[in-house]
Amino acid sequence: MEGKYCIITYGCQMNESDSERLAGQLEELGYHSVAEPDGADVIIINTCAIRETAEQKVYGKIGELKHLKQEKPDVLIGITGCMAQKNKKALFERAPHLDFVLGPYNIHHLKELVRAGSKRSAHVLKTEMRGANIEDFTDLKAARKSDVFAWVPIMQGCNKFCSYCIVPYVRGREWSRPLRSIVREVEELAAAGYKEITLLGQNVNAYGLDFGDGTNFADVLRAVEEVPGILRMRYMTSHPRDMTREMIDTIAACSKVVTQMHLPVQHGSDAVLQGMNRGYTIAHYRNLADYIRKQIPAVVLTTDLIVGFPGETEEMHRETLALLQDIRYDMAYTFIFSPRSGTPAARMTDKVSAEDASRRLQELMQVQNAISLERNRDMVGQVHEVIVEGPTKNKPENWFGRTSGNKMIIFPYADGMRIGDVLGVRADAAQTWLLRGTPVEEKRS
């Protein structure tokens, strides 16, 4: 078969990884990728359902594709990702020009669909939540965007049911990929010269719980640590409820595991954490953070925060501000609560006004940005190992890379510099979100 495909990806790293596995199937069929849907024979929108706005954006994009189907009836247009799982056949009712809807656990059916062509595939819906085995889709060949950095999904789904989150309803229960399958993929990546892998899961710390045999996330870290050739191992996303001392000790002991640890706290008040059904207290979280800092002194701790959650008072908000001052994160991703239909929090009544929510967000960012800048200033004058990622968007004469702590450092391009090079870069200046520096050491390539 010959043809062109275009995959439009919204949302998280898991969707990025799924899109690479969709692309891999099409390339095995002889298709090649194009950046724009015009002229493509297969068009896939890999969707995100994390917020109401995300869905509206996708419906807008689906609408734009209608004329392509009218002009070229044989073009195949499909929806995958979390909106596919959430909305199922309603997508066909809203957009009859779609050919197929595949849920996250059914992306491995793409090849047979494409082989069958548009006639056979009119309105094919595949959203079964539990197929034969997870390897059906995790072990698909991936057409990766990078040949230095790679996503490696280790599990799917989440059992936590945070009251504001749609993920458990669209990604199902925690479902771990067999360790041998993960190690096999990492070995293939190492043999292909990949330097950095990111272990992916909605909650990686819950890895193996569904096996019921004591296997856990630390086993994945230890197994990947043994694979020669991989330089760095990142992992996301962690959950304070399932992060154990054994995992922290293993992270400390493994030389390839990065110093960045993203540990979403979401809020500084126990009352709000209860409303969110996060399943831990701030005392528990503080103990965890203290142990992490003791075991991994160079840790770069980052987090997620939500303001304006129903029932949040001024006093509770100040508890979050106090937590930031104490924990001193290197970076925090901050969001205003947005009700997600289908989640318990969307039915909560005690709403925070938009005015209060945005003022509180400003206060959070002000406190956190000052801390982020101080922490970056502490790095000035030191040499940091970075893996070169390429030219910056605005100034191609400036290239950038990231430290083990996932800090971006911008430095001037030098002749012979290549993406994937590992350099020692001395940090010369700090900003809130990045550093500027000078390459001083050719580490290894």
Task: Tell the smallest beta-carbon distance from residue 105 to ligand SF4 (Å).
Answer: 16
Task: Tell the smallest beta-carbon distance from residue 155 to ligand SF4 (Å).
Answer: 11
DSSP state of 348: -
In angstroms, the CA 128 to CA 201 distance is 20
| Nearest residue (CB) to ligand SF4, 40 versus 165 | 165
Which listed residue (162, 306, 324, 388) binds ligand SF4 by CB under 6 A? 162
Residues paired with residue 235 on neighbouring β-strands, in sequence order: 199
| Nearest residue (CB) to ligand SF4, 68 versus 348 | 348
User: Residue 155 interacts with ligand SF4 (CB under 6 A)?
Assistant: no
Per CB under 6 A, contacts with ligand SF4 among 166-205 are: 167-168, 202-203
| Nearest residue (CB) to ligand SF4, 343 versus 376 | 343
| Backbone phi, psi, residue 35, to 5° | -75, -30
Task: Tell me how far apart the terminal alpha carbons of the chain are, to the nearest angstrom.
Answer: 38
Place of tokens 């005690």: 350
User: Residue 239 interacts with ligand SF4 (CB under 6 A)?
Assistant: yes
In angstroms, the CA 49 to CA 54 distance is 6
> Looking at 7-15, 37-45, 157-165, 420-428, which segment touches ligand SF4 (CB under 6 A)?
157-165
Residues paired with residue 21 on neighbouring β-strands, in sequence order: none
CB-based burial label for 415 (10 Å; 0-12, 13-18, 19+) = exposed
Residues that contact ligand SF4, how many (by CB under 6 A): 10
C-beta pairs of 177-182 under 8 Å, 24+ apart in sequence: 177/134, 177/135, 177/138, 177/153, 178/134, 178/135, 179/215, 179/219, 179/220, 179/223, 181/135, 181/138, 181/139, 182/152, 182/154, 182/220, 182/223, 182/224
| Backbone phi, psi, residue 46, to 5° | -95, 110
Task: Tell the smallest beta-carbon distance from residue 85 to ligand SF4 (Å).
Answer: 14
User: Residue 163 interacts with ligand SF4 (CB under 6 A)?
Assistant: no
User: Residue 333 interacts with ligand SF4 (CB under 6 A)?
Assistant: no
DSSP state of 266: B
| Nearest residue (CB) to ligand SF4, 160 versus 436 | 160
Residues paired with residue 427 on neighbouring β-strands, in sequence order: 437
User: Residue 267 interacts with ligand SF4 (CB under 6 A)?
Assistant: no
Task: Tell the smallest beta-carbon distance from residue 157 to ligand SF4 (Å).
Answer: 9
| Nearest residue (CB) to ligand SF4, 145 versus 284 | 284
| Nearest residue (CB) to ligand SF4, 167 versus 265 | 167
| Nearest residue (CB) to ligand SF4, 164 versus 400 | 164
Which listed residue (109, 160, 232, 360) binds ligand SF4 by CB under 6 A? 160
Place of tokens 């030098």: 414
Task: Tell the smallest beta-carbon distance from residue 261 to ligand SF4 (Å).
Answer: 16
| Nearest residue (CB) to ligand SF4, 21 versus 160 | 160
Q: How many CA atoms lie less than 13 Å away from 131 in the CB half-sphere?
A: 19
3-class SS of residue 430: strand
> Looking at 24-32, 68-76, 155-163, 407-415, which segment touches ligand SF4 (CB under 6 A)?
155-163
Q: Which residues bind ligand SF4 (CB under 6 A)?
A: 158, 160-162, 165, 167-168, 202-203, 239
